[in-house]
Amino acid sequence: MNFEIPKHLADYLKELDDFIETVIQPLEQKEDNMRFFDHRREYARTDWEKGGIPKEDWEALLAEAKRLADEAGHFRFAMPKAYGGKDGSNLAMAIIRDHLAARGLGLHNDLQNEHSIVGNSVGALLMLEYGSEAQKALFLEGLLKADASKAFAFGITEPDHGSDATHMETNAVREGDEWVINGVKTWNTGIHIAAYDLIFARTSGQAGDGYGITAFLVPMDAEGLKIEEYLWTFNMPTDHGTVSLTNVRVPHSAILGQEGKGLAIVQHFFNENRIRQAASSLGAAQYCVQEAVEYAKNRQPFGKSLATHQGIQFPLVELQTQCEMLRAFIRQTAWQMDTYGAFHVSDKVSMCNYWSNRLCCEAADQAMQVHGGLGYSRHKPFEHIYRHHRRYRITEGTEEIQKRRIAGYMFGFMKQRKPKGM
């Protein structure tokens, strides 16, 4: 077995670092763009008068960084070469996301809203996998460019149904060539700028059935669709909205994928995103550990370096040990996804995800402790990292749901190696 990063990928990491230092960081430093990354970040990013949504100048800066990354050939890395990408594998994306997050907070990579110069373009990947030719013609190029006018939010969760997605109460009934949708969806991320919402609704079957859920691309200006509120969160700004659908009519062609098999799209989204999320949390955890180590070496209370105290050393040693073990496990799992199929090792994907997200929160907390009052302040990024990555312990499947999935395979309750509902 060879545990070295392939040379072409190691060279690419250097290329990314050079692009960050020569193109992205000058943009980050331009005028007062640092207000989005220093102690003012939460205030600068949030439009407090418009429901707490992201400010337009903040999102314009992110869009400019993505445009520059796309011009340089980086943003579409994970996409097929036919669409301007580099056929980025799960292994390559895991290594890259770990690397970028380990650089710390910046315009190159800020996961509060999944921003990165190497795009995690889940919408585009799903459109390639499940979209009709007409849908691809309408959406794909815009999704590849991160054009908000072609973006769609995800309407999966409901006020009364989260992890129990197969029990969703939103329903759609066919009337001729149209479907009539009624229900409520919450935590629709990106809903403030999305042109469409991908609404998952039951079209047949009973509550709990894997089959019978269908995904509909619903225009945000559709009659009967309303944004009820934006949900303020632990990490602001918020782009998570609650929408209601009252007799919303869409054509049959609005279905993404196959009728009754929408749950496969959800599972596809979760499985691929979980391993990338795990790698990002690992990189952020590594950053926190590195910063704490450097601070401990230089801080000298009572005339003696903090780093000489085992009470400082040992917690950081334990965190670093976990980082090293998890890095090997994430890369092994990502390689297995590429080699045997994304769902062949979905139990291991869940292991990587829930442990990495937890590790990041622990590392951010320990970095705060080592830095003392400074660590607790907004003049260091640890509070921001903690608040964001704490979310990951809930989204894409809570820790408990992922443990349940792992246990299902361990104890023989689960057999399938493909998404439920396929």
Q: Which of 191, 232, 154, 193 is nearest to 62 (CA)?
A: 193
Cα gap 366→382, rounded to integer Å:
9
Angstrom CA distances, 104 to 107, 285, 339, stand at 10, 10, 31
Residue 219: exposure state from Cβ atoms within 10 A (0-12, 13-18, ≥19): middle
Nearest CA to 366 out of 325, 410, 306, 304 is that of: 306
Token pair, residue 241, equals 């909205």
Of 1.20.1740.10, 3.30.420.40, 2.60.40.10, 1.20.140.10, which CATH number belongs to 263-410? 1.20.140.10
Q: How much is the pLDDT for 422? A: 46
CATH superfamily of 151-256: Butyryl-CoA Dehydrogenase, subunit A, domain 2 (2.40.110.10)
Asked whether the beta carbons of 348 and 336 are under 8 A apart, the reply is yes
* CA distance from start to end of the chain: 34
Residue 258 in contact with residue 189, Cβ under 8 Å?
A: no
What angle do helix axes 382-392 and 262-298 make, rounded to 10 degrees?
A: 150
In degrees rounded to 5, what are phi and psi of residue 68? -65, -40
Q: What is the pTM of this model?
A: 0.93
Q: Do β-strands 196-202 and 115-116 pair in parallel, antiparallel, or remain unpaired?
A: unpaired
User: Taking the CB of residue 207, how many other CB atoms lie within 10 A of it?
Assistant: 12
β pairing state of 152-155 and 46-47 = unpaired
Give the Cα-Cα-Cα angle 75, 20, 376 (nearest 5 degrees).
Answer: 105
DSSP string, 23-66: IIHHHHHSTTGGGGTSTTHHHHHEETTTTTEEPHHHHHHHHHHH
Q: What's at 342, amino acid-wise?
A: A
The tokens for 11 are 């060279």
Preceding peptide of 301 cis, ω within 30°? no
- Alpha carbons 131 and 122: distance in angstroms, whole number: 13
| pLDDT tens, N- to C-terminus, the chain (422 residues) | 788 899 999 999 999 999 999 999 999 999 999 999 999 999 999 999 999 999 999 999 999 999 999 999 999 999 999 999 999 899 999 999 999 999 999 999 998 888 999 998 888 989 999 999 999 999 998 899 888 778 899 899 999 998 888 899 999 999 999 999 999 999 999 999 999 999 999 999 999 898 999 999 999 999 999 999 999 999 899 999 999 999 999 999 999 999 999 988 888 777 778 999 999 999 999 999 999 999 999 999 998 999 999 999 999 999 999 999 999 999 999 999 999 987 889 899 999 999 999 999 999 999 999 999 999 999 999 999 999 999 999 988 889 999 998 999 999 887 655 555 44
Q: What are phi and psi of 34, to 5 degrees?
A: -65, -15
Instruction: Write the DSSP string, 238-278.
Output: --EEEEEEEEEEEEGGGEESSTTBHHHHHHHHHHHHHHHHH
- Are β-strands 152-155 and 178-189 bridged in parallel, bridged antiparallel, or unpaired? unpaired
Each domain of the chain, given as residue ranges in start order, spans 7-127, 151-256, 263-410
Between CA 234 and CA 384 the distance in angstroms is 10
Residue 220, strand partner residues: none
Could you tell me if residue 367 is left (phi over 0), alpha (psi between -120 and 50 degrees) or otherwise beta?
Answer: alpha
The architecture (CATH level 2) of 7-127 comes to Orthogonal Bundle (1.10)
Integer Rg of the chain from CA: 22
